[in-house]
Amino acid sequence: MKKQELINSALKAKEMAYVPYSKFRVGAAVLTEEDKIYTGCNIESASYTPTNCAERTAIFKAVSEGYKNFKAIAITGDSEYTFPCGVCRQVMREFSKDLTIYIVKNQNEYKEFTLEELLPYSFGPEDLIEDIIKDGKDEI
């Protein structure tokens, strides 16, 4: 079952987290429309700003391999239930308005949400003015 495989992949990815400063590990696994799973963990930096979340690591890995349409993502962290930050929610929205999100406590316990539930009234690519997108112009 892909859902359980996705959850297990996120739990395994959490173990790879590089978190020498916060000590707070997060793992994520994203499922493409083609049923491929890409994983990611959070990766910290001493200067903090370049730190990357697990969700974005997984999504960026998939995008870098040519996959841009996603069905689901599983996220797990060192707290009971770890939800994605606002930046990660916006990145998810960039690639899938109808994403299913599993917030994972452990292998058998998780909560299921839609992206719409976690990011209502979101802004996405279709909200940009069509002529600007087509022409590459930055004026209206």
55 is catalytic: yes
Is 85 annotated to bind a ligand? Reply is: yes
Interatomic CA distance for residues 55 and 57, integer angstroms: 5
Is 88 annotated to bind a ligand? Reply is: yes
**Where do the structural domains in the chain lie, given as residue ranges?**
2-135
Q: What is the mean pLDDT of the chain?
A: 93
Which residue among 5, 55, 65, 112 is the active-site one? Answer: 55
Q: What is the pLDDT of residue 129?
A: 74
| CA dihedral of 116, 97, 63, 24, whole degrees rounded to 10 | 0
Q: What is the CATH number of domain 2-135?
A: 3.40.140.10
Is 45 annotated to bind a ligand? Reply is: yes
- For 14-67, how does the pLDDT look when each residue is reduced to its tens digit (9 = 90+)? 999 999 999 999 999 999 999 999 999 999 999 989 999 999 999 999 999 999
Q: Full-prediction pTM beyond 0.85?
A: yes
